[in-house]
């Protein structure tokens, strides 16, 4: 059990570095993507880089949750007992399937221009996109409720306060991610207009307006991650 715990903990720490590093790369690439002085072809290439880098934080979020539950069980910080073991296994299975669906989504959206993926793949992603948002909302609510119950009473599933606070902060990250996703269609629409018909003041203004609505959520995610690290170190 000790070796499993150390391995999961090492992967957990590594994921934080990957998450922040690729998220900063995503942020910088997106800022360059919005530069109207660049050629359309250059901006298209920047978008491909941006979309790939963005998969880092998307993947890390799910895996962080999966590893976190496993660490809590192995370290007896929470989700203890036979029910905790079952929950950790189910969480791991759901996490793997969720990550696979996210990468399938990236594969569908990264299809070469003029050669879309098969209709079945596109339809699957249309369904998954809505399911993904509701899953995140349910996850954020579940984490927050579990954390609050554990903090105010003795019947919660979390045995230590620092872990409960981490769940509250992680719920904030999940909700911030949902906030970003609510404005992604507008960003995609503005970029599609620019890539198809060229840059115009109207399309650039639409892209800027949609982008400004997401920037606060991005900064919130960074702040939550930093607070999570601080809580972990200061416990």
The CB density around residue 164, as the number of other CB atoms within 10 Å, is 24
In the chain, alpha helices (H): 2-33, 40-74, 81-109, 119-152, 161-197, 201-234
Q: Return the ∠ at Cα 59 (arms to 81 and 83), rounded to 5°.
A: 10
Q: What's the pLDDT tens digit per position in 67-100? A: 999 888 888 888 877 788 898 899 999 999 999 9
Residue-by-residue pLDDT tens, the chain, 235 positions: 568 888 888 888 889 888 889 999 999 999 999 999 999 999 999 999 999 999 999 999 999 999 999 888 888 888 877 788 898 899 999 999 999 999 999 999 888 877 788 999 999 998 999 999 999 999 999 999 999 998 887 777 888 899 999 999 999 999 999 999 988 889 989 998 999 999 999 999 999 999 988 999 999 999 999 999 899 888 7
Q: Name the one residue in this structure whose structure tokens are 């990250």.
A: 173
Measured between alpha carbons, how far is 210 from 208 in angstroms, rounded to an integer?
Answer: 6
Structural domains in the chain (count): 1
Give the pair of three-digit tokens for residue 95: 């996490």
CA distances from 173 to 7, 9, 62, 65, 71 (A): 24, 20, 11, 11, 19
Query: Tokens 């569908």 sit at which residue?
Result: 108
| First vs last C-alpha separation in the chain | 22
Question: 191 is in which domain, residue-wise?
Answer: 2-234
What pLDDT, on the 0 to 100 scale, is given for residue 85? Answer: 86
What are the backbone dihedrals phi and psi of residue 158, each rounded to the nearest 5 degrees, phi first?
Answer: -100, 130
For residue 140, what are its two tokens? Answer: 């954020």
Q: Read off the tokens for 191.
A: 């970029």
Distance CA 85, CA 76 (A): 11
Q: Are 82 and 40 in contact (CB under 8 A)?
A: no
Which structure tokens are listed for 83?
């029910």
For residue 170, how many other CB atoms are within 10 A of its CB? Answer: 22
Cα angle vertex 234, ends 219, 78, to 5°? 90
Instruction: Extract the tokens encoding 26.
Output: 């995503």
pTM of the predicted model as reported, rounded to 2 decimal places: 0.89
């Amino acid at each position: 059990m000790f070796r499993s715990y150390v391995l999961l903990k090492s992967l957990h720490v590594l994921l934080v570095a990957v998450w922040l590093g690729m998220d900063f790369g995503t942020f910088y690439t997106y800022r360059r993507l919005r530069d109207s002085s660049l050629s359309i072809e250059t901006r298209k290439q920047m978008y491909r880089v941006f979309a790939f880098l963005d998969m880092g934080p998307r993947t890390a979020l799910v895996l962080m949750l999966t590893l976190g539950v496993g660490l809590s069980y192995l370290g007896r910080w929470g989700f203890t007992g036979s029910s905790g073991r079952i929950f950790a296994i189910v969480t791991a299975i759901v996490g793997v399937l969720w990550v696979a669906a996210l990468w399938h989504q990236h594969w569908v959206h990264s299809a070469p221009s003029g050669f879309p993926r098969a209709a079945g793949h596109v339809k699957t992603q249309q369904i998954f996109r809505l399911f993904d948002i509701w899953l995140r909302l349910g996850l954020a609510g579940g984490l927050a409720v579990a954390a609050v119950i554990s903090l105010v009473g003795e019947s919660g599933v979390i045995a230590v306060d620092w872990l409960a606070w981490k769940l509250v902060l992680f719920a904030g990250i999940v909700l911030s991610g949902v906030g970003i996703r609510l404005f992604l269609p507008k960003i995609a629409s503005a970029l599609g207009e620019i890539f198809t018909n060229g840059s115009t003041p109207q399309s650039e203004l639409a892209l800027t307006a949609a982008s400004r609505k997401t920037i606060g959520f991005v900064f919130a995610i960074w702040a939550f991650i930093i607070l999570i690290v601080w809580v972990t170190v200061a416990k």
